[in-house]
Structure 1
């Protein structure tokens, strides 16, 4: 018989829709209000898996309230809450309310952005946002782009365009193509090389300088080595906001070297792309307009829900490398515009609406101000930590990450690695704080990723104080006076 009609979203069932959505919002708000400063409960993978595995999907609950109760038990009670200042591990942001409101329409209407006859005006909302972002980058009217699921997809598509452009223009065989990227660049570049059939050896890591930025001299040497070996530099990938340090590669210098070797110049600005709307720090991205393509994740430093991202290209014609005409969908003689010609995807959600609603309600300056706030917060926290004798900061922060470790005297590197890993695990297991882990030049470190504009310096220093306290306890050291100058103040 299929699903009962009363569960279908239809004008005749408007009251049921309103009740279901309202109940869901009420349940979410109740959970948001009950997190009490902790980002998680510390549920173990075994516990979470056991609860979910016990559900018989062939026996529906029937009632929405019962389903919400079950959802709370299986997930919401133990969900990771990124609005908490103590959630400082990953590039997950608290989201702005206009974007949440847009989600109701994205799912409720269920438009697909591949063709006009599935989206109508949504096609042009997405196109207008693409044009707007391209203008912010500094591209001219020939630019174009497409919304994607995230930086990984954007980087994959950019490198696909670079590969096909290089092979078409230079006739280079695939096994001689090379991609040059910062040693601190995102791993999606390596994944893209594999998916494009180029292999791991196609990616040439370029050393970074003391500020963790791609070293132009090292890039010049690497490009020369490629040419001398008979390899073809297919693309140079600069990063505007590395995952660990937020480093922004020297874009003008990298652009000039890429041009000199006829290589496609891509900028992975998945993290740092929010600087495009900063009123104080837009200059950090100078040179991005020289690129052939840019990846931007709106669901990071633009405070949008996952997923909301885009790939922008300087020359819209290059998107033709992914075009395929299907008679049933986008025939060559179609009178209607479509977006599927530009995308690796066919069916695509109307993710652009979230950014649209945000800009129409708040404006671009407000988003940029939120990002500037978290950068100011990061700088202030890092400055405080320089005075903490048992906290070692790996490098000065550049956007909103702080890489550090607890380092009491007398421990060698293996012992420090074990200690900091145990600290992170304890904070997670107890649900007290989310802190990330990484390695810097082969040495284990912890990392704070700050994307919460309402967090305070005291909030973040409180997380580091938790690290110190746990470290002393695990190492069996005597307790020491807090490094905080005043009691922890949790923002609310």
Structure 2
């Protein structure tokens, strides 16, 4: 093929013709990237300016050096999760192994659509999935697939639930005589409503169940809602529990909800996108008691297991349920006697080999390494929680069950109508004085500060700086009144 208009290192020549040129290009790029990440603590946790003023599609190649320069500029305009003050979201710095293996997976560009197009990765994905199913005690028939994020995992789980319980795989929901409904807590992830919309159920098919003061689903309210739905001529088919709510990190009573689901013959899904990582900790796995009763589970290693995005999965207690209620064969894919083509049982067809970075992270860090990261997160969270409890005007949204703390100031020396503005000011003050960044979600119709103690470079000094920043801000704002 004529490549006259292409740079000499546009592709890696299989004969090794341009090997030296490729090595030089990659070496320069890698050196620049490592230098950038290794100096993350010298820059703000959030970009001070965003500079992406570059040609989108130039007529000709801009050359290696200019490309690397522009890559660096874009990275400098990106969020900086390696900064020790980056603690606002469930988005940590990635493991080194996941970075390297993501490049390795891209280099061979296999397609997870079929075994033929990803012979090693397809097998590796199923092996890793089965091991994770064991950690959740889902039983010997459990299986699942990787997805590009928890939203897709929730969507596929609900699609299987709908087809399994309502028998809509072929005829669709328009043939149902009663409106199908599902149940989730009022603080469940918004992807549940999106999934209901995509599946043709409509957002109003998601019936929100009230939560207690700790943001956990009230099981008695669930029972009442089930009775009321049936009284109104609706058809309940699924209950969703959350293990790690987005804003406060709380865990629904998984065991009790599972018992209700089983008694009512409903599909039981647990959104453990965040909290599922506790299965890797001997110290805290008991917080997931009852998750083994789930028919399906969403779990995102890209969060508390630090794997580079995207790394998420949907697991099923019974692989037959997945195959019977979701699988669609493709005539253009060759069948394998030993392994099903993953594209047949996945919402996605063409898919990147995300399994390699997950597998590589497991190999490099090990379960005990992940346990230490999780346990340390709890240790530092408890340290911060103890300090916040001692500050008079600070209100906690709930008692932390994971490594997330949601709090807000309610200073009595100003009007309650000004509290949201005061908390916004506290967020800006701590970022300016200590380089520590909190998120500022809306919760219970008010603004709250939220921290996720996930960054492996957070230490006790970070917590002390937070406490000092809060104390100083309180003193300064008091003087201004």
TM-score with structure 2 setting the length:
0.91
Please state how far the C-alpha of 1:430 moved relative to its aligned partner: 9.1
Partner Cα distance (2:28, 2:339) in 1: 40
- Asked if the contact 2:47–2:80 (Cα under 8 Å) also holds between the matched residues in 1, the reply is no
Partner of 1:230: 233
Partner Cα distance (1:218, 1:364) in 2: 38
- Mapping for residues 63-462 of structure 1, pairs under 5 Å: 63-73=63-73, 75-168=74-167, 173=176, 176-320=179-323, 321-329=325-333, 337-424=340-427, 432-462=435-465
Partner Cα distance (2:56, 2:197) in 1: 39
- Asked if the contact 1:88–1:449 (Cα under 8 Å) also holds between the matched residues in 2, the reply is yes
Partner Cα distance (1:452, 1:117) in 2: 39
- Asked if the contact 1:40–1:78 (Cα under 8 Å) also holds between the matched residues in 2, the reply is no
Aligned length: 471
Partner of 1:21: 26
Partner of 1:485: none
Partner Cα distance (1:165, 1:223) in 2: 19
Please state how far the C-alpha of 1:438 moved relative to its aligned partner: 2.0
Partner of 1:483: none
Q: Per the alignment, in what secondary structure is the counterpart of residue 458 of structure 2?
A: coil
Q: Per the alignment, in what secondary structure is the counterpart of residue 88 of structure 1?
A: coil
Q: Per the alignment, in what secondary structure is the counterpart of residue 117 of structure 1?
A: coil
Partner Cα distance (1:366, 1:81) in 2: 23
Partner Cα distance (2:394, 2:130) in 1: 45
Sort the Cα spacing of 1:54 and 1:69 in 2 relative to 1 into closer, same or farther, 3 A.
closer
Sort the Cα spacing of 1:446 and 1:100 in 2 relative to 1 into closer, same or farther, 3 A.
same
Partner of 2:62: 62
Partner Cα distance (2:34, 2:204) in 1: 49
- Asked if the contact 1:152–1:188 (Cα under 8 Å) also holds between the matched residues in 2, the reply is yes
Sort the Cα spacing of 1:60 and 1:423 in 2 relative to 1 into closer, same or farther, 3 A.
farther
Question: Deviation per CA, 1:258-291, whole angstroms, max 9, x where unpaired?
Answer: 1122111000000001111102111111111100
Mean CA deviation greater in 56-65 or 168-177: 168-177
Partner Cα distance (1:125, 1:360) in 2: 13
- Asked if the contact 2:154–2:271 (Cα under 8 Å) also holds between the matched residues in 1, the reply is yes
Mean CA deviation greater in 207-216 or 53-62: 53-62
Mean CA deviation greater in 14-23 or 383-392: 14-23
- Asked if the contact 2:181–2:207 (Cα under 8 Å) also holds between the matched residues in 1, the reply is yes
Mean CA deviation greater in 167-176 or 407-416: 167-176
- Asked if the contact 1:86–1:460 (Cα under 8 Å) also holds between the matched residues in 2, the reply is no
- Asked if the contact 2:280–2:370 (Cα under 8 Å) also holds between the matched residues in 1, the reply is yes
Pairing partner for 2:35 from 23, 30, 35: 30
Please state how far the C-alpha of 1:472 moved relative to its aligned partner: 5.9
Q: Per the alignment, in what secondary structure is the counterpart of residue 294 of structure 1?
A: strand
Please state how far the C-alpha of 1:71 moved relative to its aligned partner: 2.1
Please state how far the C-alpha of 1:437 moved relative to its aligned partner: 1.3
Please state how far the C-alpha of 1:363 moved relative to its aligned partner: 1.4
Partner Cα distance (1:391, 1:422) in 2: 14
Please state how far the C-alpha of 1:468 moved relative to its aligned partner: 5.2
- CA RMSD, Structure 1 to Structure 2 (Å): 2.5
Partner Cα distance (2:289, 2:46) in 1: 43
- Asked if the contact 1:41–1:430 (Cα under 8 Å) also holds between the matched residues in 2, the reply is no
Q: Per the alignment, in what secondary structure is the counterpart of residue 116 of structure 2?
A: helix
- Asked if the contact 1:303–1:367 (Cα under 8 Å) also holds between the matched residues in 2, the reply is no
Question: Deviation per CA, 1:78-106, whole angstroms, max 9, x where unpaired?
Answer: 32221222111110012222222211211
Partner Cα distance (1:330, 1:207) in 2: 49
Unaligned runs of 5+ in 2: none
Question: Deviation per CA, 1:238-262, whole angstroms, max 9, x where unpaired?
Answer: 0011111111111110001111221
TM-score with structure 1 setting the length:
0.89
- Asked if the contact 2:7–2:63 (Cα under 8 Å) also holds between the matched residues in 1, the reply is no
Please state how far the C-alpha of 1:200 moved relative to its aligned partner: 1.4
Partner Cα distance (1:39, 1:372) in 2: 27
Please state how far the C-alpha of 1:390 moved relative to its aligned partner: 3.4
- Asked if the contact 2:413–2:478 (Cα under 8 Å) also holds between the matched residues in 1, the reply is no
Question: Deviation per CA, 1:346-401, whole angstroms, max 9, x where unpaired?
Answer: 11111111121122222112112211111111111111111122332222111011
Sort the Cα spacing of 1:302 and 1:56 in 2 relative to 1 into closer, same or farther, 3 A.
closer
Please state how far the C-alpha of 1:467 moved relative to its aligned partner: 4.9
Partner Cα distance (2:253, 2:65) in 1: 54
